[in-house]
Amino acid sequence: GEATNKECEVAYHNVFMVMLWSSLAEGKVALMTHALQQMPPIPSRTSWLTYVRCHDDIGWAVTEENAAAVGLNGFLHRSFLSDYYSGRFPGTNARGATFQHNPRTNDRRISGTCASLAGLETALEAAALDRSAVDLAVRRILLLHSMILAFCGIPLLYMGDEIGLLNDYGYDDNDDLAGDNRWMHRPFMDWQKALERGDGTRISGRLFQGLQGLIRARKDIFAFHAQAGAFPVWTHNDHIFGLIRESPRGRVLILGNFSDEAQTVPAYRLLEMGFGGQLLNLVDGRQVSGWQDLAIDAYGYLWLQ
């Protein structure tokens, strides 16, 4: 009934968001692929939201069963994610904060804007030393959004993510907000940065125009019809997530590289999935050869037909 449909909707959009951030932190997609394959199909007349971030904190909806199926310990992986996104894990580029720590279970939810969790805040602080870190952060943000725009459902873009707004730490100076660090990812709009969104040389411009391109591509793809199936697939590369959208209107293979290095999908695997031969990347209109191993840049994504 309605309750079951609602539970399914909540499960889908929460699990998908969690799996995106999990894959980004780990640089691997086995858990996301398996977990999404286990999700039951929703009734054909219903839909759900897909989002990278929302107004709330992130709770790590990683079950023991799904973690064990790909060789992970659920408790340890959830702890790793909390450490990674709160800046405690060695080498992390994320800048978030722990919310509602439960000492008994070590459950720690995470606050932070998409850009800060994706490493842009840290990269900007080190920009004078390594501008490539800024580029990688922008790539991560666009990769995440390419996934929610390609997955079935209604994509939700949270205010400020389209121009890369960072954590707002000023909430702690407001007596009405202090003590609830979720306000760090509920910033006031930066209208000056918004005015710069037309400049492709600026971060806000790269993000905004990149998202515009993805949205235009999505609107024109018949295979992204609301009732088209979404089937997560193994790409035979632990770093590249694969998803097939399939309907009578066509088939599209979505690929996303969650690694900070270029990765490849074997040509034989493309052929097995029905995507051998000459392919078209629907994001930018470029031709791609499926007759050979397909290389994808660090945090790159392709929508292939």
Q: How many CA atoms are closer than 13 Å to the CA of 44, on its beta-carbon side?
A: 5
Structure tokens at 235: 């790409």
120: tokens are 């842009």
- Judge whether 227 and 44 are in contact, CB under 8 Å: yes
Concatenated DSSP letters of 29-42: -HHHHHHHHHSPPP
Condensed to tens digits (0 to 9), the pLDDT of residues 42-66 reads 777 777 889 999 999 999 999 999 9
Rg of the chain taking only CA atoms, in angstroms: 19
Number of CB atoms found within 10 A of residue 236's CB? 14
- Determine the pLDDT at residue 12: 56
Please give the pLDDT value at position 248: 85
- What was the pLDDT predicted at 51? 95
Q: Which contiguous run of DSSP H or E holds residue 109?
A: strand 107-111
CA contacts within 13 A on the Cβ side of 222:
6
Whether 127 and 119 have beta carbons less than 8 Å apart is answered as: no
Predicted local confidence at residue 249, as pLDDT: 83
pLDDT along the chain (305 residues), means of 10: 44 82 98 94 79 94 95 96 96 95 85 98 81 95 97 92 97 92 95 96 97 96 84 97 92 97 97 95 95 97 98
The predicted model scores a pTM of 0.94
Pair of tokens at residue 192: 């000056």
Residues 6+ apart with CB under 8 A from 165: 113, 115, 187, 189, 190, 193
Exposure string of 103-128, with b = 16+ CB inside 10 Å and e = fewer, is: eeeeebbbbbbbbbbbbbbbbbeeee
